Structure 1
Amino acid sequence: MEKSHLSEGSVDRGSTRPTPGVPGEELLVLSNRQPYRHSDDDGDGITVDAPAGGLTAGLDAVMRQVNGTWIAWGDGDADAAVVDDDGRVTVPPGESDGQYTLERLWLTDEQVDNYYYGFSNRVLWPICHSALTNVDGNARFWDHYQGVNERFADAVVDSADPRSVVWFHDYHLGLAAEMVQDRIPEGVFCIHTWHIPWPSWDVFRACPHGREVLRGMLGNDLVGFHVPRYCDNFLRCVSAALPGAHVDWENRRVVHEQSVTTVRAFPMGVPADDINRQAKHPGAETFWRDFSDTHGIDDDTKVGVGVDRLDYTKGIPQRIEALERLWESSSQWRESFTYVQVGTESRSQIDAYSQYQQRVEDAVESVNERFGTDDWQPIVYTTDYLADEALYALYRFADVAIVSPIRDGMNLVCQEYVAAQQDDDGVLVLSDQAGAHDELHEWVMSINPHDTTAFKETVDEALAMPREERRPRMDALRRHVATNDISTWIRTIFATVDALREPTPKDQHHASV
């Protein structure tokens, strides 16, 4: 697990609304990342890292309601010390109610290198983000990806009962559902939420073992993506790669080998109310005063913010190039506009990532050397860990947020920025390549991250936008983000499960075709 300050907000345990269709103790969640990790505190005892936020914290809140089982890779150095003989531990620790079972799977270094850093992040990740030059088709990667997916499938077989709902998460577990279908009791319902883009067939056909991945995904009863166009891409890939599959385009369903898979879009949200509360906490204001004093940002300075993992899909060098062009061509923003870039190191064991991180550092240094003065630094760049209040303070006090991935499944940073606003006066500059753009495009300043001139002009316009235009835009964004928060996302998914679990005569007819 990579510790990150890109927390996407912690969930208020008391604010999670009841979720229709959640199957109580029959809910099994499977993910590469675990919700709690136990660590040895330098011999002083064992500490526990709780969910930082976003999906993990949102699902943790549900699991605490229903007492289900969460199965994940145990990557903490003290994880094995606290589990029973079956690799299980009750979480969260030290609480008398609202607990559930965390079952840990143990992976060798070789498995992690090949399943996680290999096939997951050197094959599926670049292909799904249309970065084909970063694909590495090492045969060992596929062998271990199959093996680890088999481990997760075995854990499902050991834990499932005839009314279980089994919820797989993300691209690490693309084969597991098919592996369990012939071995689990009849009646088990499998869901897979794919949290990154699904590419077009022209891109996906470059995937080694792509047909096997598609068949693995069709082992699910329900497959969810964040936006409809990823659903359509997936269905086109199924149609092109699997001649025996029948695609029902009208209902977004696939009949394959006597089973029916429904494909749906579920746009993910953030814990908006919790983010807003933390952004206006006195601790957030204190952080901002100290931060702005340290970096020479006075009350008259316009502030921009970007918060990203240091991943080649996030478009940070393109963003810095656009900002450089802005300071070059619009002298009024020199010494009056400061951009804050928060970066989180990610997957540095992979050359493409370590090279990218160096590229970002070099770009920042070049701009600061070119335009910086004794009293002003154009780009404040930090890779320091930031607590939630600090992160939300940056969002709250930034006049402009720039979210410019070259490809992104959804992107929650843009929603966090909106949720942290207090006076409806921030402006969101958002790449049209982010899934969130499909939902928010009406009220944001849209950019193509590769069009440097237009990108620069859009940031210029955002900085100069009058308050009477900023406020209605942000007001609409805040209402949308608050209405479509992470609780709504989870409720919608389980309402869909509830509707699909009892097949109609038409479904039974299709399954028998």
Structure 2
Amino acid sequence: MNSNTTGATAESAAETVARLCDDRELVVASNREPYSHAREDGELTVDRPAGGLTAALDPVMQAAEGTWVAWGDGDADREVVGPDDAVAVPPEDPSYDLRRVWLTDEQVEGYYRGYSNRVLWPVCHLDIAKMTPREEFWREYRETNADFADAILDSTDGADGDPVVWFQDYHLSLAPRTVREARPDAFLAHFWHIPWPSWDVFRACPQYEALLDGLLANDLVGFHTEEYCRNFLDCADAGTDARVDRSSGSVSYRGHRTFVRSFPLGIDAARQADLAESDAADEWWAQFREARGIDPSETVAVGVERLDYTKGIPERLAALERFWEENPEWRGDLTYVQKGTESRSGIAAYDALQDRVADAVERINDRFGTDEWTPVVYTTDHLPEAGIAALYREADLGLVTPVRDGMNLVAKEFAAAQTRDPGVLVLSELAGATEQLGEESVLVHPYDTAGFADAIGEALSLSRAERRQRTADLQRAVHAEDVYDWLESTFETAAAIERGRRSVRTTGPRPTDD
């Protein structure tokens, strides 16, 4: 089963970006770099974008021939850059510059592991008890944002016209203000990839005013959902002296107007479907099933995510344990495969989660397992993309049940990979993806263990006709609103705002809506 309904393409997205930029320099700024260099057995190797945002943006940047500014964390990254800390990529056909920012050990600890992941991450995911607002974290976050801003300005120095700069995510909240002050006529946009909390939560962050000041230097700030947009406008209204116009979704602050819009991030759905149908996926699944003792007749449920406390893995395991307890006829027939990727080890909250998950898996397998059947197949091994796609394709249930998530692209990957006998998406109502995919999923509240267990039973009881219909509807959504549609929507909106800005310079006050 495969939907071929597609919206935008990499080529059309690149054309949209080119129309906005015209002869202006396009700069993408992100924490993560699209290419990294390393040495293996003395040979220089290049790690290329295999999936996700960097893979989607790479062809667009190749067409735009701009500059990508990112943290250079590869072992051999310094070996290949020039005096300007930049290297032309892709290696085989260079078309844009990758400008690397170098971080000290103190910056990695304070900016990345500290402020980004121990302050902003828990605040935005509504878990302020895990927030650790140390003074040194904030200092390193400020300094690193200044370093990124300097790299952006250096890379556009001498370019014709004012640049178009697109910031990515919560790591770079402050950099837009520095760039704005140096290049007042640059077009700045920012996409926030995680949830934006309500004001009563966001104000728990002691630096809320500085964060808002940085983000409001942008011309456009994008979020996944309308809910996050409303929350941001509320925060700007309560946390600054800005004038908020909710009818136009804009904020006037320090003589500048920022538009706030929702752009639900998608995936490369066509690529995901192709991976699911590949020979590599077939071969990987056959080997994995045999190695893990999964009988072809068994019903399979799958969960795939980083080992992060926002993903709801312990809550999911509790619901599965409840299900097997109350439905003994499914013992031996329902196997759950949990692919977990270790994340941010060394941070107490993450180390504790890894232990908690491992303990729960052991307890459940000891309680229900037999010589012939293992209830929970748990792996933290690296799996190839084709292997992940095979897991999705073979799953009768896809359990995507975070306790909070900005969007959750695993839900969309699962839907796109249902190319054969369709499975059922069991989705948390606390994931941003629910706005697009909730109607055709079986929705659960991850903290309602009894209700979650019942929903698993409901999903397993759906007829094949019902599963096919739900999957077809899900696939239409993920193919039509894919990552390239996200890119086009973002830059079409940016172009409209820029036209409004230009009209102000020649005709007077800016219109109330763009």
- TM-score, length basis structure 2: 0.94
The letter for the 1-side match of 2:162 is: R
Q: Determine if the alignment matches structure 1 residue 303 to structure 2 residue 322.
A: no
1:130-154 CA-partner distances (Å, limit 9, x unpaired): 1111000110011111101011111
Q: Determine if the alignment matches structure 1 residue 173 to structure 2 residue 169.
A: no
- In the alignment, which of 188, 191, 194 is matched to residue 193 of structure 1? 191
What secondary structure is seen at the aligned counterpart in 2 of 1:140? helix
The letter for the 2-side match of 1:84 is: G
1:380-421 CA-partner distances (Å, limit 9, x unpaired): 000010111111000001001000000001000000001111
Kept in 2, the 8 Å contact 1:271–1:486? The answer is: yes
CA distance in 2, matches of 1:297, 1:233: 45
The letter for the 2-side match of 1:20 is: T
Residue 450 of structure 1: aligned partner: 447
Kept in 2, the 8 Å contact 1:192–1:217? The answer is: yes
1:219-250 CA-partner distances (Å, limit 9, x unpaired): 100000001100000110111111x2000101
Residue 48 of structure 2: aligned partner: 50
Kept in 2, the 8 Å contact 1:255–1:511? The answer is: no
CA distance in 1, matches of 2:409, 2:385: 14
The letter for the 1-side match of 2:509 is: H
1:279 is displaced (CA, Å) by: 0.5
What secondary structure is seen at the aligned counterpart in 1 of 2:229? helix
Gaps of at least 5 residues in structure 2 are 1-7
- In the alignment, which of 274, 284, 301 is matched to residue 271 of structure 2? 274
1:90 is displaced (CA, Å) by: 0.5
The letter for the 2-side match of 1:171 is: Y
CA distance in 1, matches of 2:498, 2:421: 42
CA RMSD of aligned residues (A): 1.8
CA distance in 1, matches of 2:384, 2:221: 34
1:221-240 alignment to 2 at 5 Å? 221-240=219-238
Q: Determine if the alignment matches structure 1 residue 459 to structure 2 residue 463.
A: no
1:13 is displaced (CA, Å) by: 9.8
Residue 404 of structure 2: aligned partner: 407
What secondary structure is seen at the aligned counterpart in 2 of 1:407? coil
1:344-383 alignment to 2 at 5 Å? 344-383=341-380
CA distance in 2, matches of 1:314, 1:199: 17
CA distance in 2, matches of 1:16, 1:414: 25
1:208 is displaced (CA, Å) by: 1.5
Evaluate the alpha carbon distance shift between residue 46 and residue 13 of structure 1 in structure 2; reply closer, same or farther with a 3 A threshold.
farther
Evaluate the alpha carbon distance shift between residue 18 and residue 169 of structure 1 in structure 2; reply closer, same or farther with a 3 A threshold.
closer
CA distance in 1, matches of 2:12, 2:44: 29
Evaluate the alpha carbon distance shift between residue 195 and residue 472 of structure 1 in structure 2; reply closer, same or farther with a 3 A threshold.
same
1:21 is displaced (CA, Å) by: 3.6
Moved more, 143-152 or 19-28: 19-28
1:13-39 CA-partner distances (Å, limit 9, x unpaired): 977754314326611000011000101
CA distance in 1, matches of 2:17, 2:9: 19
Q: Determine if the alignment matches structure 1 residue 72 to structure 2 residue 94.
A: no
CA distance in 1, matches of 2:377, 2:236: 46
CA distance in 1, matches of 2:495, 2:371: 62
Residue 470 of structure 1: aligned partner: 467
Kept in 1, the 8 Å contact 2:316–2:401? The answer is: yes
The letter for the 1-side match of 2:168 is: H
Q: Determine if the alignment matches structure 1 residue 490 to structure 2 residue 475.
A: no
Q: Determine if the alignment matches structure 1 residue 109 to structure 2 residue 105.
A: yes
- In the alignment, which of 311, 315, 323 is matched to residue 314 of structure 1? 311
1:449-507 CA-partner distances (Å, limit 9, x unpaired): 00000000001111121111111111000111011111111111111111111226689
- In the alignment, which of 62, 83, 86 is matched to residue 85 of structure 1? 83
1:424 is displaced (CA, Å) by: 5.7
CA distance in 2, matches of 1:454, 1:266: 31
- In the alignment, which of 419, 428, 431 is matched to residue 434 of structure 1? 431
The letter for the 2-side match of 1:167 is: W
Residue 4 of structure 2: aligned partner: none
CA distance in 1, matches of 2:167, 2:441: 32
Residue 342 of structure 1: aligned partner: 339
1:207-286 alignment to 2 at 5 Å? 207-242=205-240, 244-286=241-283
1:307-326 CA-partner distances (Å, limit 9, x unpaired): 01000000000000000000
Residue 119 of structure 1: aligned partner: 115
Evaluate the alpha carbon distance shift between residue 86 and residue 13 of structure 1 in structure 2; reply closer, same or farther with a 3 A threshold.
farther
Kept in 2, the 8 Å contact 1:269–1:481? The answer is: yes
1:159 is displaced (CA, Å) by: 2.5
CA distance in 1, matches of 2:239, 2:13: 41
The letter for the 1-side match of 2:244 is: V
1:423 is displaced (CA, Å) by: 3.0
1:411-422 alignment to 2 at 5 Å? 411-422=408-419
1:99-124 CA-partner distances (Å, limit 9, x unpaired): 21000011100011000011111100
CA distance in 1, matches of 2:243, 2:457: 50
CA distance in 1, matches of 2:9, 2:256: 37
CA distance in 2, matches of 1:73, 1:511: 38
Moved more, 21-30 or 151-160: 21-30
- In the alignment, which of 129, 132, 137 is matched to residue 133 of structure 1? 129
Q: Determine if the alignment matches structure 1 residue 154 to structure 2 residue 161.
A: no
1:296 is displaced (CA, Å) by: 2.1
Residue 8 of structure 1: aligned partner: none
Evaluate the alpha carbon distance shift between residue 16 and residue 301 of structure 1 in structure 2; reply closer, same or farther with a 3 A threshold.
farther
The letter for the 2-side match of 1:199 is: P
1:93 is displaced (CA, Å) by: 0.7
Residue 5 of structure 2: aligned partner: none
CA distance in 2, matches of 1:109, 1:293: 43
- TM-score, length basis structure 1: 0.94
Identity %: 49
1:366 is displaced (CA, Å) by: 0.5
CA distance in 2, matches of 1:16, 1:503: 23
CA distance in 2, matches of 1:349, 1:192: 30
What secondary structure is seen at the aligned counterpart in 2 of 1:463? helix
The letter for the 1-side match of 2:61 is: M
CA distance in 1, matches of 2:52, 2:9: 13
CA distance in 2, matches of 1:17, 1:409: 23
The letter for the 2-side match of 1:426 is: G
